[in-house]
Amino acid sequence: MRRDGILQPTGSGAGLDRTMHKRRTQSTELTGRAFDALSVAEKQRIVDELERGTPEQRGAKATVPTAAERARLNRVQKKMR
């Protein structure tokens, strides 16, 4: 209860007027250096997982790159020319 006599909600409903922030998780993206540091067996497991299925199945699971990804790929291609 506040000083003015108005009851405040307590428990799980308290503070719902606050802005909710999403928790950001760390990226699990595997870098080249991290891949090189893996054991031979772990590298083989990853390769086997990537090669599982037919090329058509892998193509069906592929997604179109986002604008940021396309820009990054274009920059890399430009450097390789």
The pLDDT > 70 percentage for the chain reads 67
What is the 3-state secondary structure of the chain?
Answer: CCCCCCCCCCHHHCCCCCCCCCCCCCCCCCCHHHHHHCCHHHHHHHHHHHHCCCHHHHHHHCCCCCHHHHHHHHHHHHHHC
Tens of pLDDT, residue by residue over 48-63, are: 988 888 888 888 888 8
Q: Please indicate, yes or no, if residue 47 is contained in any of the structural domains.
A: yes
Q: Please indicate, yes or no, if residue 58 is contained in any of the structural domains.
A: yes
pTM for this entry:
0.42
Asked if residues 1 and 12 have their Cβ atoms less than 8 Å apart, the reply is no
In total, how many domains does the chain have?
A: 1
For residue 27, what pLDDT band results from cuts at 50, 70 and 90? low
Residues of the domain holding 49:
30-62
